[in-house]
Amino acid sequence: MIFIVVKYEVKPEHVDQWLERTREFTEATRAEPGNKWFEWNRSCEQDNVFTLVEAFDDDAAAAHVNSEHFAKGLEAMRPMLLSTPKIISRQIDGDDWDAMGELQID
């Protein structure tokens, strides 16, 4: 699976609109064949930082990056950002989240 984490530093005046203005991109990506998850999270330390955690089947990530909604989504984000997003993108073993071995809940 391809596992991707992207950190976005949003201009303070756009923080409250971020999730709504990226909704079309989010919904289109979640509907893609091979998308495993696409989850937005907001930093507890920095109000204007959003992190996207996403995963795709190995052969689905390229189609995502080459899709029309991907280009449209990036352009919608561009004027709301303070800096270039930071990304970690890796191919990893597995197909889903694993249970944490160090903290088990019965």
Dump pLDDT digits (tens) for 52-96: 999 999 888 788 888 889 999 999 999 999 999 999 999 999 999
Provide the whole-model pTM. Answer: 0.92
Q: What is the three-class DSSP state of 12?
A: helix
Domains of the chain, earliest start first: 2-91 (3.30.70.100)
Whether 87 and 74 have beta carbons less than 8 Å apart is answered as no
Q: For residue 44, what are its two tokens?
A: 């507890």
